[in-house]
Amino acid sequence: GTLHPACGYGTYKVGVVPASASAAAAGAEAAGATQRSATECVADALEVGYRFFDCAEFYGNEDEVGEAIAASGVPREDLYLASKCWTTTIFKGRAAVRMQVERTLAALGTEYVDLYCIHWPVPKKHCEAYLELQTLQAEGKIRSLGVSNYTVEDYDELVAHEGVTVPPAINQIEVNPFLYRKRTLAAFHERGVAIQAYRALRDGKAFDDGMVKAIAAKHSRTAAQVLGRWCVQHGVIYIPKSVLRTRMEENAKVFDFALDAGDMKALDSLTTSKAIDMFAELYAKCVNRGTPLDGSLEGVRQKFTCD
């Protein structure tokens, strides 16, 4: 195995808002803020001390991330670089996946990435895409393999697929107190899969929640730090994102305090059945997103572990 940082910097909607992502969902801090380039933001993140950078084909900014890394002077061995291939590439097949990994390596200015993931479990396509990642890993271009947005059932399908010999080490999914899928997290833990959390801070939309604010006041911390610390105490890899340097600094300060059992229980209780239902609907919409089957439920898994 390899070591994985407990906290990283997310690059989604940093400098670039993907065409199919809603600008309205860019996050609370975007309101009234001047959009900065990904190069500027990543340069700040590096200066603040972030060394794990979560990238993706879909994010559309890997060239700028690479420019910031090259200008920083930070040794490659001190960095943990991760990326993901998008649904459109997965749908096209193994050759397209290989080409995308090569593009990522060139953009980031590196001979290898520490982690590369399948972004969504595109029906009837994701297993073949993963097989190509295995080949690229054998060639030394990828250190660890992972997946993203996989249900337990998607994972089990993948590892049972003919030719899959390297189980994913990572699954990146949304995790926060408002979408705390206990059975799913437990199942992946049992399978030896580490969980990365995206939307750990819910794009700032939970900062005014009464429970979160009360716990933050109790510890003289910010809402963001409470949400981040909750992830850490659940053993989940925390990937905050901000385009503001002050927030980058704030978000990383989650290792010098602890939430007590009462705090954790209160935060654990914030997930509603409606939130679980909304997750299930979003999953069904997204697995074919951007592909020729976009908008259809063809091949989409109908029964899976939601909570």
Catalytic residue numbers read 59
Q: In 5-27, which positions are buried (b, 16+ CB within 10 angstroms) versus exposed (e)?
A: bebbbbbbbbbbbbeeeeeeebb
Q: What is the CB-side half-sphere exposure of residue 186 using CA atoms within 13 A?
A: 6
At 82, list the tokens: 């991760």
Using CA of residue 49, residue 51, residue 52, residue 55, what is the dihedral sign? positive
Tokens 């972004």 sit on residue = 119
d(CA 277, CA 99): 36
> Do strands 237-238 and 194-198 pair parallel, antiparallel, or not at all (unpaired)?
parallel
d(CA 302, CA 123): 12
